[in-house]
Structure 1
Amino acid sequence: MSKPRLLADENIPRTAIVTLREKGYDVVSVWELSPGISDEEVVELAIKERRIIVTFDKDFGRIARLNPNLNPNTTGVILLRIPPLNPIYVAERILSVLERIENPYGKLIIVKKGAIKTITLHQ
């Protein structure tokens, strides 16, 4: 399977995004495309471009579970619930999730300091 396409929310550090790109991931960033857009617009963009949302924003956990438009084949959410100690740490945690979870599409993946929880969306 090819690497998932990612959409980094505005709260993801630029250095983390650059690191993911250096590892071969197709990452676009909200701050590059359209800073200040609403969470709903972020979701619409992710659906349109078939990207996994990567964010620290807890609201996306709720949105992922409640939004019936999140097609399991087109998008998902990686919700980071870790301390943003430094951008390299953030990038390493994201990379570890992407290496462990074979197909992140259609999932809400909650990343905590010592655990990763996966919730399948809208079956």
Structure 2
Amino acid sequence: MIIADENIPLAVIEKLRLSHVETYSIFENKRGISDKEIIDFAQHPPKIILTEDKDFGDLVFAYDQKKVSVILLRYHYSDLERI
């Protein structure tokens, strides 16, 4: 399962879902929770965090979270459709 951080555009989340990728949206379900809470949520069972926030990589390593993976998206807004 992928956990889409609050900063992931809904268009990306919808494309993932249309591609049959199980995607949980923080924006839709748990808006306002902390990054640490997202990391905790991503552990049981292990999930992938999809984010535009570079701090997640640092946090995962700082808290020694071996069960959590992070995909960091970096793109120009005009490339959104290609993502």
TM-score by length of 1: 0.61
The within-5 A match list for 1:12-91 is 12-68=8-64, 70-71=65-66, 74-85=67-78, 87-89=80-82
Classify the secondary structure of the residue corresponding to 1:77.
Answer: strand
Bigger shift: residues 45-54 or 18-27: 45-54
Q: CA-atom RMSD, angstroms?
A: 1.5
- 1:19 touches 1:88 (CA, 8 Å); kept in 2? no
Q: How many residues of Structure 1 are paired with residues of Structure 2 in the alignment?
A: 83
Cα distance change, pair 25–47 in 1 and its aligned pair in 2 (3 A): same
TM-score by length of 2: 0.87
CA drift at 1:86: 5.3
Higher relative contact order (CA 8 A, sep 6+): 2
- 2:17 touches 2:23 (CA, 8 Å); kept in 1? yes
Could you give the per-residue CA deviations for residues 43-75 of structure 1, whole angstroms, max 9, x where no partner exists? 01111242100000111021122221x22xx32
Structure 2: gaps of 5 or more residues:
none
- 1:12 touches 1:54 (CA, 8 Å); kept in 2? yes
Percentage of identical aligned residues:
36
1:31 maps to amino acid = F
